[in-house]
Structure 1
Amino acid sequence: MRTVPSIIHLDMDAFFAAVEQAAKPSLRGKPVVVGGVGGRGVVATASYEARKFGVHSAMPTAQARRLCPNAAFLTGRFEAYRQNSEIVMELLRERSPLVEPLSLDEAFVDLEAGPYGPALTAVGPAEGAQLVLAVAEDLRADIRERTGLTASVGAAGSKLMAKIASERAKPDGLVLVEVGMERTVLAPMPVRALPGIGPATEQALRRAGLTTVADLAAAGPEELVQLLGRAHGAGVYAMSLGLDDRPVVPERDAKSVSVEDTFEVDLADRDRILREIDVLSARCVRRLHATGRSGRTVVLKVRRFDFSTLTRSETLRGPTDDQEVIAATARRLALQVDVTGGVRLLGVGVSQLADFTQEDLFAQLERAERAEQAERAEQAEGGEEPAPAVADVPAVRRWWPGQDVTHAEFGPGWVQGSGVGRVTVRFETPYSGPGRVRTFPIDDEDLEPSGPLPLREPDPDGG
């Protein structure tokens, strides 16, 4: 057991939305929603201004628009998020070689393995806790100085408690749980505060009269094992006591990203199965976005009523993190599986991961091809002469809300919106004030896509 709360958990505040506000002066202090902007899009991150209206991650974008119609709805700029994530992760590695990233904006750090380790182990618990607080405050200040962004940090003697502390610190705060105070902190919390307790487990515990972490600790391991099974029950009991000996493990390259659900009642209706696949695809894409990755192979997992498990996969022409493409592929795979008798588990995953998502040309091409096929089918039904094939006409330039652009005359800016052959751009940078808005034809030769600017203006002297 540690005597000093030397494990910290860092979580950037509303990271994607915060990067957009820092990059776009006209959006600072205003509601911003990042995610899919189409009819079936899902919110990836909402700024704190948008959260006041009830908008949150994983919410359908259409619902978010109803709750907060005046928000700026932007597509993700993952190159910008990765650039700022790398700055944050490098600042963490300056404090310790043991950094375990959980996503672009979240990581555990073991301070005892770094340059502060000897001091932390040489002093008493009280002095050690004060040193951890000082290190964490310096870290938050460095992040703000280098990126202009805010971070919440939790410090404790275990990963479990450090994560819980960072949740209590949000937004833009620092909470330390002293070693020995774990049960006092956990006791009044609802059972859902513990990792691994989802809605189904919460319901099972509630039916047994267990609603707080203190209730779990008082119930004892035998009752929890009876309710939840041997492994899960024992794990939940240990967590209720604040016990967690998991080490901080340096980053490991993930081979795939996947999600799955087991259903209380076997699904026999194919339409219902396809709807569940859409839901799983959305969750899978959110995990891809959290890691800043994309993938080429979509994998569908189906466990049937007789516990036989089948997997089907399809490799795409290029990496994608597009929810519509992944969902459509998974649905195609589902049509290859005999679901007679019912399905008890479904899973959707993506493998052959790649390090880019910013320009998902494959997804754009898929959407364009589907739109063209639908249009040509309508024309054929109406007796009209089919329109020329895509290859016979110039490609239409597409602009996405939030996209970085530059204009030969007006300089750098970002796309506010586009439609009916026009694109509207606000010309501003992270270092300017709110900029002016201008509208151009979508094929204006002076307007080009560009990469993100750093959130802090580079020192002209290179310092």
Structure 2
Amino acid sequence: MDEAPIRKIIHVDMDAFYASVEQRDDPALKGKPVAVGYPAARGVVAAASYEARAFGVRSALPSVTALRRCPDLIFVKPRFDVYRSVSKQIRAIFEEFTAVIQPLSLDEAYLDVTENLQNIPTAWATAKAIRARILEETGLTASAGISYNKFLAKLASDQRKPNGQFAVTPEMGAAWVEALPVARFHGVGPVTARKMQALGIETGADLRAKSLAFLQQHFGSSAKWYHAIARGEDHRPVNPNQIRKSSGSETTFDRDLTEPAEIEAGVLRMAEDVWAWCEKAQSFGRTATVKITWADFQKSTRSRSHPALIDSHAKLRDASLALIRSVFPVAKGIRLVGVTVSNFETAEAGELPLFE
């Protein structure tokens, strides 16, 4: 039997999407540090221009911290109706080249162009054509990663940002991964990266040197994924119908907390992070969950499903506070809290309207 053809996958990622739209629509903002969001005491940055990123301003950063890092930062109120409209234009361009599209958010998606609709011979040329069409149609730049699997394509899209593209071929894939720091790997968050570093795992080569048994001992059910990506392996297909089931954020405190006001402040920060994603993706759930790790590392969760969607920041704040307050007064310190929204429901029969 013939072997299956090597897949050609492109990860397209718009460059500083929200901020770039604002700079496009208001020429006075071009070349200046711009943050999309609100400069309120409990506000967060939804997106930052590259000029702002030079000062260390990034998405999900508290607004007060962003202003400390960049006093000249210009805050612009989000216009999600405009971002969704531009996202529709981008989706339509993708559909000119392939029907196999997996949106990840308003500003990024995987495309399987193994059999592209334009009969372009290479994935590299296809990515260039897509980026050119986006620029022509929207006036915005996009970056692209091209490879034979999703993991490598997503990593590759960061290599030539902004307004560039990079390809990882089957011949170079495994060796390229070995040279990268594990903190860059999709699926390895800051906490896991620190744990890996404590185990002497700094690079992909270090990760590849560890046995599956070792990884299972330290990382449990995630071990097989880490074992595979250290070798540049990822067999997940581009899935046009993938549905995100939850959105969550958590933080570990510098010290164990017992004061309700301090604990609540941590919960509110996490609710802010989660709401930023929900608002960006325009996806809302009915169930709020608060996760707690106590000083003795025991874990607790408090969860409640609501009859109506949690479709505003205020509703998520209230739901999260009600859940954490159910454990007060605390008999021992709290070292970590997390907030998650799940049980999503959208207007598109349960599918996330990320490009709709």
TM superposition score normalised by structure 2: 0.85
Determine which of 259, 262, 265 is the counterpart of 1:275.
Answer: 265
Structure 2 matches for 1:397-408, cutoff 5 A? none
Structure-1 residue corresponding to 2:92:
90
Q: Which runs of 5 or more residues in structure 1 are unaligned?
A: 121-127, 356-463
The answer to whether structure 1 residue 200 and structure 2 residue 191 are counterparts is yes
Q: Are the counterparts in 1 of residues 8 and 148 from structure 2 also a CA contact under 8 Å?
A: yes
Shift of 1:37: 2.6
Partners in 1 of 2:24 and 2:293 — Cα distance?
A: 48
Say if 2:178 and 2:205, in contact at 8 Å, map to a contact too: yes
- Conserved? CA contact 1:5–1:178, under 8 Å: no
Among residues 18, 24, 39, which one is paired with 1:22 in the alignment?
Answer: 24
Query: CA 1:88/1:262 → structure 2, altered by over 3 Å: closer, same or farther?
Result: same
- Number of aligned residues: 340
Report what 2:353 is aligned to: none
Give the CA deviation at 1:210: 1.4
AA aligned opposite 1:233: A
Percent identity of the aligned residues? 33
**AA partner of residue 209 (structure 2):** A
Q: Match for 1:271: what amino acid?
A: A
Q: Identify the match of residue 288 of structure 2 among 272, 286, 299.
A: 299
Structure 1 residues 5, 185: CA separation in 2 closer, same or farther (over 3 Å shift)?
A: farther
Question: What is the match of residue 348 of structure 1?
Answer: 340
In 2, Cα distance between equivalents of 1:94 and 1:18? 24
Q: What's the counterpart of residue 68 of structure 1?
A: 70
Change (3 A) 1:267 1:238: farther
The aligned amino acid for 1:310 is R
1:152–1:321 CA distance, 2 compared to 1 (3 A): farther
Closer, same or farther: CA 270–66 of 1 in aligned 2, 3 Å: closer
Does the 8 Å contact 2:260/2:328 carry over to 1? no
Point out the more displaced range, 150-159 or 64-73.
Answer: 64-73
Please give the TM-score of this superposition, normalised by the length of structure 1: 0.67
User: Letter of the aligned partner of 2:72 in structure 1?
Assistant: N
1:39/1:61 contact within 8 Å kept:
yes
Is 2:170 the partner of 1:179? yes
Aligned to 1:217: 208
Larger radius of gyration: 1
Aligned-partner Cα distance in 2 for 1:202–1:320? 33
The partner residue of 1:330 within 299, 320, 323 is: 320
Q: Aligned-pair distance for 1:227?
A: 2.2
The verdict on how the C-alpha distance between 1:352 and 1:111 changes in structure 2, with shifts beyond 3 A counting, is closer
Cα offsets for 1:113-142 (capped at 9, x unmatched): 5425xx68xxxxxxx5xx211111111010
Partner-residue secondary structure (3-state), 1:168:
coil
Asked whether the equivalents of residues 314 and 333 of structure 1 are also in contact (C-alpha less than 8 Å), the reply is no
Structure 2 vs 1, CA of residues 353 and 241 (structure 1 numbering), >3 Å: closer, same or farther? same
Specify the SS of the correspondent of 2:55. coil
Q: CA deviation at 1:152?
A: 0.3
Tell me by how many angstroms 1:71 deviates: 3.0
**Which of the residues 239, 253, 258 maps onto 2:247?**
258
* Alpha-carbon RMSD: 2.9
